[in-house]
Amino acid sequence: MTVEGPVAGTDYAESSNGSPTFLNVGVDYPDSSRFVVLIWGEDRSAFPDPPEDYYSGKTIDVTGTITDYNGVPQIEVSSPDQIEIVQ
């Protein structure tokens, strides 16, 4: 599936288990109506720039499998090829 929307907030949880980066689409955390793009720490090196900075404030298309985490839909991204900035 592909989801499109504005990145309303980001967080690089470097000290958390797995060092995840969160891109919150539509609305920011903790709003449960947000859509989350999740990038695990092991995949950050695939991105030329820190994702939390590069995608912040931009509208993106993200492609992948949508899963549910505690009632919040998300797509796990392992490559920048899965995220396209919408002009």
Residue pLDDT, tens place only, 11-49: 999 999 999 999 999 999 999 999 999 999 999 999 999
CB 10 within 8 A of CB 25: no
Using a 10 angstrom Cβ sphere, with 0-12 exposed, 13-18 middle and 19 or more buried, the burial of residue 75 is: buried
Q: Give this prediction's pTM.
A: 0.96
Provide CATH code, domain 2-85. 2.40.50
Predicted local confidence at residue 87, as pLDDT? 84
Residue pLDDT, tens place only, 64-75: 999 999 999 999
Predicted local confidence at residue 72, as pLDDT? 97
Domain boundaries, the chain: 2-85
